[in-house]
Amino acid sequence: MALPTRSRRRLRPSAPLPIVILASAGAAFFIIPLLGLLLRTPWASAWQQLGSAEVLAALRLSLLASLSATAIALTLGVPLAWTFARLTFPGRSVLRALTVLPMVLPPVVGGVALLLAFGRRGLVGGWLATTFGVHLPFTTAGAIIAETFVAMPFLVITVEAGLRSMDTRFEDAARTLGASRWTVLWRVTLPLVRPSLIAGAVLCWARALGEFGATITFAGNFPGRTQTMPLAVYLALESNPDAAIVLSLVLLGVSLAVLIGLRDRWLGAS
């Protein structure tokens, strides 16, 4: 007897049929490839693949590099987003377009551009090398730079949108209460755009974690030093597709866990 009531209740927020069909197709579009990956996973040898030193090194490096890239993106990207959202100055729209360019630029091209800037013969790379003895290509720092380059725009755009949609009168209120601009930023602005900050950081991190093209182009591929998970997956595809699938699943699992965890805890999703 309880069943009809329950099903009726479940149907209450009814959606138009075309929406249901298209949404289902949209969801299937994402789910089916993942299913393909899962079904082809050689579960028997999976643990053995995972335990290998090379995989662990790649996983460790991936986490280190993507988190470092996110930290750099927060440090530099939030001020940039604030600048775009709050200041007007000549050339702002051009500068803004330039900073989000890596989102549309093929990452390999981004990697080449980074080489031309920070490489041995690059615009500032030579100076870095002679002045500080810093070499970025073929180093972990280079991998971090490459990931930051590609991932930071996601943070900038998200935070900028958050700053733009925020009610700036809260900042006015804070200032009339005697808060300096710096205090306003720390105690009012950033807390108010916290959802955007977190969303931007997560997007940025996820993009950095999956980064391939710019990293392999700029930092090269060396196990333990610059071979992040995506690079390991790509190279495994050449020799050992089974291992590639297992590696991809690890990457998927880690990012899924973090994304779901973050949503529940910070983004207030039900």
Nearer to other proteins, 41 or 240 (CB): 240
Q: What tokens were used for 123?
A: 């615009």
Minimum CB distance to other proteins, residue 176 (Å): 4
Nearer to other proteins, 68 or 217 (CB): 217
Q: Does 140 bind other proteins (CB under 8 A)?
A: no
Q: Does 236 bind other proteins (CB under 8 A)?
A: yes
Any residues with CB less than 8 A from the CB of 44 and at least 6 apart, and which? none
CA 223 to chain centre: 22
Nearer to other proteins, 24 or 165 (CB): 165
Minimum CB distance to other proteins, residue 10 (Å): 30
**Amino acid found at 81:** A
**Amino acid found at 267:** L
Distance CA 84, CA 156 (A): 9
Q: What tokens were used for 172?
A: 């006015």
- CA-only gyration radius of the chain, Å: 23
Q: Does 199 bind other proteins (CB under 8 A)?
A: no
Distance CA 228, CA 236 (A): 12
Q: Does 267 bind other proteins (CB under 8 A)?
A: no
Distance CA 190, CA 179 (A): 14
Q: Pick out residues in 37-96 that bind other proteins (CB under 8 A).
A: none
Q: Does 240 bind other proteins (CB under 8 A)?
A: yes
Nearer to other proteins, 102 or 111 (CB): 111
**Element of type H or E holding 56:** helix 53-86
Q: Does 209 bind other proteins (CB under 8 A)?
A: no
Task: Pick one of 107, 137, 153, 200: the residue that binds other proteins (CB under 8 A).
Answer: 137
DSSP label at residue 234: H
Binding site for other proteins (CB under 8 A): 112, 115-116, 119-121, 137-138, 167, 169-170, 172-181, 183, 187-188, 191-192, 194, 216-217, 219-223, 226-227, 231, 234-241
